[in-house]
Amino acid sequence: MTARVPPVAADRLPALLAAMPKAELHMHIEGSLEPEMAFALAARHGIALPYADSAALRRAYAFGDLQSFLDLYYQGAAVLRTEQDFYELARAYLARAATENVVHAEIFFDPQTHTARGVPMATVIRGLARAGDEARRERGISSALILCFLRHLSEREAFETLEQALPFRDAFIGVGLDSSERGHPPEKFARVFARCRELDLHIVAHAGEEGPPAYIWAALDVLKAERIDHGVQAVHDAALMQRLARERVPLTVCPLSNQKLQVFPDLARHSLPQLLAGGLCATVNSDDPAYFGGYVNANFQALFAATGLDAQAAWQLAANSFEASFVDASAKQRWLDRLNESFERAHDASA
């Protein structure tokens, strides 16, 4: 999907990035837990957090790599206990996303993070689904849930999680694979993903964030992933780049996350422009916005400021997000029409 867009003045580009409709396809709902909400939920449940206040917690968000982030991420999730907690968490994210002109969100959730603490699967899914239904009615933003398996745990535990979730099969559209990438290749989960395909669940997988291009190949060939989450290391494998472009395999890229976790300490050297130049279906997303310093529009703004990407790239990234989403063709066309209208307005304002 590509088109030549009308020229937009450079000084109009930041406003266009904020105003254009877009889909967000890589966002962990637990990663949208802002420090203020964490303290509010801790107080609700009588939990003592090891920080003086929300400002002190926010200062702790300095990470050297993925694992140092995950340690704090799992600690923060401990304040999520009830259906109301999960509902409020998702409601807050969807309200924020709607203000940033996100028209559709496909939201990751990590049930094992919660069931390991004794929180029932039903509590997690019902709270998240209720917020999604409400946001669709009241804000016009559609959403879907994707259940992620934690790759640092065993495949047996992933199977157990899948079985616990199946009574709520109508509430989620797919499965993913996240958590610590290094040392946990996709092959580790071949059988459980085969079972998920039998259940007609969409398949996505984190690969090629800190892990090598070989993990992306395995996610495609072993897990049969329809979409690769991150995938930024693909630039180191020419044959892989060609395949991803040829097969239009989407990559859900998260610039501020990559910067915060030292994958690309300097956004000016991020691989996303190279992915776009190679014809790949790359998208921009926020990953864990409460921890990484920005929701989706902040990711667009920071990336474009650092790399000099132009309005044509902005259109392509937004159009790619619609193409990569798991929705019907009529919805994709509706959003694409809105995208084109936003560019026409920006062009007229530039004249």
Q: Which run of H or of E encompasses 349?
A: helix 329-350
Distance CA 141, CA 121 (A): 25
Q: Which strands form 282-284's sheet, in the order they lie side by side?
A: 22-28, 102-109, 142-150, 174-178, 202-207, 227-230, 251-253, 282-284
Classify residue 281 by burial, with Cβ atoms within 10 Å: 0-12, 13-18, 19+: buried
Helix axes 329-350, 311-324, angle to 10 degrees: 170
Is 266 annotated as belonging to a binding site? no
Determine contact, residues 331/141, Cβ cutoff 8 Å.
Answer: no
Spot the catalytic one: 88, 209, 210, 226.
Answer: 209
| Rounded distance between C-alpha atoms, residue 66 and residue 151, angstroms | 13
270 annotated as a binding-site residue: no
Q: Locate 89 and state its tokens.
A: 């968490």
Tokens representing residue 203 in the block:
């398949």
Half-sphere exposure in the Cβ direction for 267 (13 Å, CA): 19
209 included as an active-site residue: yes
Q: Can you tell me the distance from the alpha carbon of 320 to that of 10, in angstroms, rounded to the nearest whole number?
A: 22
Contact 64, 102 (CB under 8 A): no
**Residue 104 known to bind ligand:** no
Closest CA to 149 of 196, 183, 100, 104: 196
Q: Is 28 annotated as a binding residue?
A: yes
Query: Residues within the annotated binding site for substrate?
Result: 288
Query: Residues within the annotated binding site for Zn(2+)?
Result: 26, 28, 206, 287
Query: Residues within the annotated binding site?
Result: 26, 28, 206, 287-288
Residues labelled as active-site residues: 209
